[in-house]
Structure 1
Amino acid sequence: MQKINSGVTAPKGFLAGGVHCGVKTNNTAKKDIAIIYSEKPCTAAAVYTQNKVFGAPITVTRRNIADGMAQAVVCNSGNANTCNADGVEKAEKMCILAAEALHLKPEDIIVASTGVIGQVLPIEPIEKGIAALAPIISREGNLDAVQAIMTTDTKPKEEAYEIEIGGKTVKIGAMAKGSGMIHPNMATMLGFLTTDAAITTPMLQKALKLAVDDTFNMVSVDGDTSTNDMVSIMANGMAENPVIDKEGANFDLFVAVVKEICTSMAKKIAGDGEGATKLVECTVTGAPTIPLAKAIAKSVITSSLTKAAMFGADANWGRILCAIGYTEGDFAVDTIQVDISSPKGSILVCENGAGVAFDEDKAKEILLEDAIHIEIAMKQGDASATAWGCDLTYDYVKINGDYRT
């Protein structure tokens, strides 16, 4: 597994791009329409938000890839196309426009939107944007595509790796957006993966689900599960590796690299949380079961009091114990150990469920770093899990206090 300097256009046969079309009316410098295109038809898979209120693009994408095939993605930012009477009609129109421009069928398009909920999506700028963008998508257009799906993100998020499967070099690329309304079981988060691997739709869906469960579904910024979350993957088979059609060594290797990419993207999303100054990672070890390890890790990184303490560089370990304690499940507290670490070192703050003497100045030095790790050793089993979040700052309230206006 080798990391390469690219994104969704790293695999063979993929082109991408992004332009400003006018969905975002307040800043003409910000791109707001993106396309990812494969030169050959792809097997396709996706996972979606578990919010009962979900965007029209999810309805359309679910229908379009029900046959397990796709060849392009079209995505706008600046408007979520959610809770609109004409939402499905607009999402379908985006597919029609993209299909006409790319010489595909509308049902071979994955469509996504992100931005403000409940405002009617203007289709006219999207029509102009797709017409202008389709002729200029390229192998070099990956960064433009990433920038076009950003909302409150402060930095683009993309990744690519290559591996060898059956003597063939296989590449997997990804791009994602997400900064606020982020919570486990998907979040205001869009992720698009591409690969030139030859893999059947059932195995592609299984690989994506396995990766997402341990990565994107372990991220929380603010406890709000979005309406528009989607992570999709398209595989065009142009690497010409032996087709991955069952579990085994090749499938395991493919899952491992997809999980590596999704882990990296999940951490980038958590670290770029709205108003955030720190990435907070929580690892639970020695838990009785994996579901319980996941639940505890999520509980800690979701705790508003713990997040506020991380912002203030306050080693208030009692807040961590509190978040552990209200996690549903059967476990003991009197064996739990908590350590906090960063590039500045590590410090033990709790042992056997009780506080220990520690150097407050050293703890503050550790917590002033921009990446903090909380390690919870339960000593009650062999299961482990990691979740990612961020600190809670004044700027989070400022950003969301006037997000719509």
Structure 2
Amino acid sequence: MNYIDGGVCAPAGFQAAGVHCGIRSKNTEKKDLALIVSDRLCSAAAVYTTNKVKGAPIAVTKAHLENRKAQAVICNSGNANTCAPNGREIAEKTCQLTAEYTGIPAEDIIVCSTGVIGEPLSMEPFERGMGPLVQALSADGGTMAAEAIMTTDTVSKECAVEFELGGKTCHIGATAKGSGMINPNMATMLSFIATDAAVSPEMLQKALSEDIKDTYNQLSVDGDTSTNDTVAIMANGAAGNKEITEEGPEFETFCRALRMVTEVLTKKLARDGEGATKLIECQVKGAPDADAARILSKSVISSDLFKSAMFGEDANWGRVLCSLGYARADFDASDIQVEMGSGKGVIKVCEHSALYPHSEEEAAEILAEEEITIYVDLHQGKGEAKAWGCDLTYDYVKINGDYRS
């Protein structure tokens, strides 16, 4: 398996585009409407936010995916279409408009929105932009689509891999957006994944649902679960492999390729957290089981006190133990070891749940790097997991203090 260029358009048969259509009235330079299409009907699967308040597009997408088929994704940024007047009607009309211009049935279209909650949204920008958007569709359009779904993101996020199934060369490509309001518990922000591998809808859903447990669901920027989180995947079978319909070596290969893509995107999302200066990874091992390890690692990177310490380059390991201690996981806290590492080295700061003598100067030097890893060993089982987050900075408050402007 190898990483390749191309993002969501790396798989055969996919095109994408992104344009400015006017949803962002105050920023005419920023793209705000994205389209991803396959040249044929795809197996499709998705996971969604667990927030009880959900964006109207989620209800429409769920209805369209009842048959587990899709051929296109239409997504706007700048307005979440959540708690908005006539929200569902807008989402449905967006699919109908997309159908008119692409020839793809409206019921085979996934629709998503991201941006400000509770703002009115009209069809006028969609009507104005759909023609240019469809005309711009290209096999090189993945980056344009990635840019068009950004909100407070500072960079677009893409990834793709190439791998083999049954002697056929296959690809998985994806894009994702998210910078704030990130604390998923079923999906995360928005992520659209495409593959030219042939995979049945049932196995596609199984692969996605299992994958997010160790990737997107292990990400937190600020502890807020969005109303619009959606991860959707489409498989068009253009690679020509025998369709994967059950578990086995081919399915395992597909899942490994999917993991390569989603883990990279998870890290990119964490690194681009609002106001962030550091990517933080927490690795927990020696937990009673994998579920406990997931909960514990995510508890560490979700702690505002810990995140603040990382911003200040302060090796305050007590905040690591504190966040482990209040996590809703069953484990023995008597023999915890904590190490902190970066490109400058690794330093042990805690052993047997107590201070391990170390140089504060050396620790500060290690924590001055842009990518930091916290290693936790509980010494009581084989459970392992990783979680990703970022530091908490002054700029996070500045960004969210005037987000609507």
CA contact (8 A) 2:48 2:187 kept: no
Give SS of 2:37's match. Answer: strand
Alignment of 1:386 with 2:386, yes or no, is yes
What is the CA-CA distance between 1:122 and the residue it aligns to? 2.3
Q: CA deviation at 1:187?
A: 6.5
Residue in 1 that maps onto 2:86 = 86
- Alignment match, 1:209: 209
Q: In structure 2, give the amino acid aligned to 1:313.
A: E
Q: CA deviation at 1:184?
A: 3.1
Q: Which region of structure 1 is more displaced relative to structure 2, 183-192 or 363-372?
A: 183-192
Give the corresponding residue for 1:12: 12
What is the CA distance between 1:329 and its match in structure 2?
A: 2.7
Q: Tell me how far 1:136 sits from its aligned partner.
A: 1.9
1:251 Cα offset (Å): 0.3
- Which residue pairs with 1:112 in the alignment? 112
- 1:252 positional shift: 0.4
SS in structure 2 of the partner of residue 332 of structure 1: coil
Aligned to 2:8, the other structure's residue is in SS state coil
Show CA shifts across 1:15-44 (max 9, x none).
000000000111111000000000011010
Q: How does 1:183-222 map to 2 (within 5 A)?
A: 183-186=183-186, 189-222=189-222
- Structure 1 residues 150 and 230, CA gap change in structure 2 (3 angstroms): same
The correspondence of residues 35-50 of structure 1 with structure 2, limited to 5 A, is 35-50=35-50
Q: Distance in 2 between matches of 1:141 and 1:270?
A: 24
Return the alpha-carbon distance in structure 2 between the equivalents of residues 112 and 21 of structure 1.
16
Ranges in structure 2 where 5+ consecutive residues have no aligned partner: none
Deviation per CA, 1:195-217, whole angstroms, max 9, x where unpaired?
00111000000011111111000
When structure 1 is superposed on structure 2, of 310-319 and 117-126 the one drifting more is 117-126
> What secondary structure is seen at the aligned counterpart in 2 of 1:192?
strand
Output the CA distance in 2 between the equivalents of 1:70 and 1:304: 40
Whole-angstrom distance in 2 between the partners of 1:403 and 1:184: 20
Q: Distance in 1 between matches of 2:237 and 2:387?
A: 33
CA distance in 2: counterparts of 1:272 and 1:142, whole angstroms: 19
* Residue 121 of structure 1, CA deviation: 1.3
Correspondence 1:37-76 to 2 at 5 A: 37-76=37-76
Normalising by structure 2, we get a TM-score of 0.99
Mapped partners of 2:5, 2:285: distance in 1: 33
CA offsets, 1:39-70, max 9 Å, x none? 01101000000000010000000000110100
Instruction: Determine what percentage of the aligned residue pairs are the same residue.
Output: 57
Is 1:365 aligned to residue 368 of structure 2? no
Q: What is the CA–CA distance in structure 2 between the aligned matches of 1:97 and 1:142, rounded to whole Å?
A: 21
Residues of 2 paired with 1:8 and 1:364: CA distance?
39
Work out the CA distance in 1 between the residues paired with 2:331 and 2:383. 13
Letter of the aligned partner of 2:265 in structure 1?
Answer: M
Q: Give the 3-state SS of the residue equivalent to 1:213 in structure 2.
A: coil
Looking at structure 2, the residues matched to 350 and 187 of structure 1 have their Cα atoms a distance apart, in angstroms, of: 33
CA contact (8 A) 1:186 1:225 kept: no
Give the equivalent residue in structure 1 for 2:173.
Answer: 173
Give the match for residue 29 of structure 1. 29
Counting only pairs closer than 5 Å after superposition, residues 5-404 of structure 1 correspond to structure 2 as 5-186=5-186, 189-404=189-404
Counterpart contact for 2:218–2:386, Cα < 8 Å: yes
TM-score under structure 1 length normalisation = 0.99
Change (3 A) 1:188 1:379: closer
Give the distance between the partners of 2:2 and 2:320, measured in 1 at CA.
36
Distance 2:333 2:199 in 1: 45
**3-state SS of 1:65 partner:** helix
CA distance in 1, matches of 2:108, 2:2: 31
Distance 1:163 1:263 in 2: 16
Q: Partners of 2:306 and 2:348 in 1: how far apart?
A: 16
Query: What is the distance in 2 between the residues matched to 1:187 and 1:241?
Result: 28
Q: 294-303 vs 178-187, which deviates more?
A: 178-187
Query: What is the RMSD of the two structures over their aligned residues, measured on CA atoms?
Result: 0.8
Q: CA deviation at 1:330?
A: 2.4
Q: Number of residues paired by the alignment?
A: 405
Q: Is the 8 A contact 1:77 1:114 kept in 2?
A: yes
Query: Are 1:187 and 1:225, in contact at CA under 8 Å, matched by a contact in 2?
Result: no
SS of equivalent residue, structure 2 residue 358: coil
Secondary structure, aligned partner of 2:227: coil
Structure 2 residue identity aligned to 1:256:
R
Partner amino acid for 1:98? T
Task: From the superposition, tell whether residues 291 and 246 of structure 1 become closer, same or farther in structure 2 (CA, over 3 Å).
Answer: same
The structural deviation recorded for 1:188 is 6.1
Q: Is the 8 A contact 1:187 1:224 kept in 2?
A: no
1:81–1:188 Cα change, 3 Å:
farther
